[in-house]
């Protein structure tokens, strides 16, 4: 589909395209994928797609290609009969068979276009199903024709809180809940490390570390040892505080946890970049009265030193950024810290909050000649770049086609990344993540300078 878009761009005048298309090259995927990813962040959980086998297969394939790990999930396997008469019987049979054959501790059911259009009442169906004692079934409504994979992730996180979080009514424990957002397992590990360095006890959910970055051993484990324990999620209602990292993916669950269990929540950006990481550390420091350890001060100092050493590589360079809203918001803030000019900023996820937050950051540094759009299409971005080029493109694998067509270097960040290795294991959050982003951006621009240098100047380019 993406290749077809590029061919269209070469053949059709830009003005004609502007007035005749809706979504041609979406900068997102659908809700069930995000719900499946969130469910995989629970220990011994089997995600279940309440719809056709094709939907489940697509989401598993996309996650497997990005993480290069097996992604287990089951399906209600709708046929024509279920499409007409509803999928209640399919789901009840599925739940019974899954527990008997695969023996997970918990099943996380998400809906699809078909089951949502039919109107299946999952809460009632689950209550009528055969669920063994000590086992759990939760659900989230995730119609594919609304929102994006980030919306689906948020809905499943909210479902996790709705079904599992409890409060015993006693004094809150001196502990923080972290809802990390739609990030890679390497990012979750880095967030956990920072919290541990601060000396604060935590419950992190969903936690895909140890699941989608599990080590290769001599024995096959259907359910790797990673993920958030059900008992820990239940006890999250007794924590002192919740930090939701990324408003689009995490705030809904944190708000419900506050409403249901009285755990106050503080919304933060994803800790991508210097300012956002500072905000996470200061929130922990102020809430729990702990000191910032020397180890984190050293890491921050290394970031500052590296920014000074490398600023001439990227200072004033224009950049186009696309991807998931929480990632793009935090990344834009860091690019401004670096002295770059985010000229075009888009996300495929709908929501006016995205545009509002981006414009506020741009206004702080006096940038007005930029384009910002939520619920956008990658075709929008390519047309803008064709009209007025940028020095760098930052986003997912799907940007490679724009990068090739417009001859612009691409730094791969976010989800999905299908055509490069090791990304899910390497964090972009925290101070270590800052260093990695600086490295990627600087070296990509330096490689382009080398490519474009004359033979005489090649040895002199620094």
Candidate from 3-12, 182-191, 264-273, 337-346 with smallest mean pLDDT? 3-12
CA neighbor of 336 nearest in space, from 353, 355, 318, 354: 318
Q: What are phi and psi of 54, to 5 degrees?
A: -65, -40
Structure confidence by residue, pLDDT tens digits, 363-381: 999 999 999 999 999 999 9
Yes or no: say if 130 and 96 are a contact pair by the CB < 8 Å rule.
yes
Q: What is the assigned CATH class of domain 295-456?
A: alpha beta
The CATH superfamily label for domain 173-215+223-293 reads Nitrogenase molybdenum iron protein domain (3.40.50.1980)
Yes or no: say if 281 and 200 are a contact pair by the CB < 8 Å rule.
no
Yes or no: say if 232 and 205 are a contact pair by the CB < 8 Å rule.
yes
Yes or no: say if 161 and 139 are a contact pair by the CB < 8 Å rule.
no
Quickly tell me which residue has 């260093």 as its tokens.
435
Average pLDDT over residues 318-328: 98
The structural domains of the chain, with segments of one domain joined by +, span: 31-164, 173-215+223-293, 295-456
In DSSP terms, 191 is beta-bridged to none
pLDDT attached to residue 460: 61
Structure confidence by residue, pLDDT tens digits, 420-431: 999 999 999 999
SS3 content of the chain, % helix, strand, coil (to 5): 50, 15, 35
Yes or no: say if 126 and 137 are a contact pair by the CB < 8 Å rule.
yes
Q: Extract the tokens encoding 136.
A: 């759990």
Per-residue confidence at 459, pLDDT binned at 50, 70, 90? Answer: low
pLDDT attached to residue 461: 52
Q: Extract the tokens encoding 462.
A: 């620094």
Average pLDDT over residues 281-308: 98
* C-alpha torsion 285→291→293→299, nearest 10: 40
For the chain, count helices (H), then strands (E): 20, 13
Please spell the DSSP secondary structure of 137-163, one letter per residue. Answer: EEEE---TTSS-HHHHHHHHHHHHHHH
Question: Which pairs with CB-CB distance under 8 Å and at least 24 residues apart come from 219-227?
Answer: 222/72, 222/102, 223/43, 223/44, 223/45, 223/104, 225/43, 226/43, 226/185, 227/40, 227/41, 227/42, 227/43, 227/44, 227/45
pLDDT attached to residue 453: 86
Rg over CA atoms, the chain: 23
Q: What is the assigned CATH class of domain 31-164?
A: alpha beta
Q: Are strands 136-140 and 106-111 parallel, antiparallel or unpaired?
A: parallel
Q: For residue 355, what are the contacts with CB-CB under 8 A and spacing of at least 6? A: 372, 373, 374
Q: Is the pLDDT of residue 15 over 70?
A: no
Does the model's pTM come out above 0.85? yes
Question: Which pairs with CB-CB distance under 8 Å and at least 24 residues apart come from 80-89?
Answer: 83/114, 83/118, 86/118, 86/119, 86/120, 87/50, 87/51, 87/114, 87/115, 87/118, 87/120, 88/120, 88/125, 88/128
DSSP class of residue 228 equals B
Q: Extract the tokens encoding 2.
A: 């993406």
Yes or no: say if 177 and 266 are a contact pair by the CB < 8 Å rule.
no
Structure confidence by residue, pLDDT tens digits, 65-120: 999 999 999 999 998 888 778 899 999 999 999 999 999 999 999 999 999 999 99
Asked if the domains at 31-164 and 295-456 fall in one CATH topology, the answer is yes
Per-residue confidence at 268, pLDDT binned at 50, 70, 90? Answer: very high
CA–CA–CA angle 126, 127, 132 (5° rounding): 85
Candidate from 2-6, 64-68, 268-272 with smallest mean pLDDT? 2-6
Candidate from 19-33, 304-318, 350-364 with smallest mean pLDDT? 19-33
Alpha-carbon gap, residue 183 to 209, rounded angstroms: 10
Q: Is the pLDDT of residue 22 over 60?
A: no
Q: Which regions of 156-303 does DSSP assign to beta strands (E)?
A: 173-179, 201-204, 239-245, 265-268
- From residue 148, alpha-carbon distances to 30, 99, 351, 423 in Å are 5, 30, 11, 22
Mean pLDDT estimate for the chain: 93
Yes or no: say if 408 and 385 are a contact pair by the CB < 8 Å rule.
yes
Q: Extract the tokens encoding 238.
A: 């007794």
């Amino acid at each position: 589909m993406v290749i077809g878009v590029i061919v269209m761009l070469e053949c059709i005048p830009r003005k004609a395209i502007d007035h005749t298309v809706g979504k041609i090259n979406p900068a997102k995927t659908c809700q069930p994928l995000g719900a499946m990813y969130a469910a995989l962040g629970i220990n011994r959980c089997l995600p279940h797609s309440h719809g056709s086998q094709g939907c489940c297969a697509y989401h598993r394939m996309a996650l497997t290609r990005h993480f290069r790990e097996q992604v287990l999930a089951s399906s209600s396997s709708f046929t024509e009969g279920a499409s007409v008469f509803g999928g209640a019987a399919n789901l009840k049979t599925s739940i019974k068979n899954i527990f008997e054959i695969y023996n997970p501790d918990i099943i996380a059911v998400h809906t699809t276009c078909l089951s949502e259009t039919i109107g299946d009442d999952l809460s009632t169906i689950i209550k009528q199903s055969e669920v063994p004692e000590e086992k759990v079934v939760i659900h989230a409504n995730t119609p594919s024709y609304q929102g994006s994979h980030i919306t689906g992730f948020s809905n499943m996180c909210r479902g996790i809180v709705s079904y599992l979080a409890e409060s015993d009514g006693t004094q809150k424990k001196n502990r923080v809940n972290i809802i990390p957002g739609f990030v890679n397992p390497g990012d979750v590990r880095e967030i956990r490390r920072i919290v541990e360095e601060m000396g604060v006890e935590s419950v992190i959910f969903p936690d895909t570390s140890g699941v989608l970055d599990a080590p290769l051993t001599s024995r096959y484990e259907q359910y790797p040892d990673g993920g958030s324990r059900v008992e820990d999620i239940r006890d999250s209602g007794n924590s002192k505080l919740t930090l939701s990292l990324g408003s689009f993916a995490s705030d809904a669950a944190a708000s419900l946890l506050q409403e249901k269990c009285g755990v106050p929540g503080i919304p933060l950006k994803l800790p991508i970049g210097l300012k956002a990481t500072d905000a996470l550390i200061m929130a922990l420091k102020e809430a729990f009265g702990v000191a910032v350890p020397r180890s984190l001060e050293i890491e921050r100092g290394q970031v500052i030193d590296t920014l000074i050493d490398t600023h001439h590589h990227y200072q004033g360079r224009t950049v186009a950024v696309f991807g998931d809203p929480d990632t793009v918001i935090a990344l834009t803030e860091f690019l401004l810290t670096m002295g770059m000019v985010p000229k075009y900023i888009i996300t495929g996820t709908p929501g006016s909050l995205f545009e509002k937050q981006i414009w506020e950051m741009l206004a702080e540094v006096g940038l007005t000649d930029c384009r910002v759009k939520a619920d956008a299409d990658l075709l929008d971005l390519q047309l803008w770049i064709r009209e007025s080029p940028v020095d760098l493109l930052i986003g997912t694998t799907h940007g490679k086609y724009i990068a090739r067509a417009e001859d612009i270097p691409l730094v791969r960040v976010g989800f999905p990344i299908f055509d490069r290795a090791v990304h899910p294991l390497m964090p972009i959050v925290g101070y270590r993540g800052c260093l990695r982003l600086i490295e990627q951006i600087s070296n990509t621009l330096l490689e382009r300078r080398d490519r474009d240098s004359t033979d005489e100047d090649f040895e002199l380019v620094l």
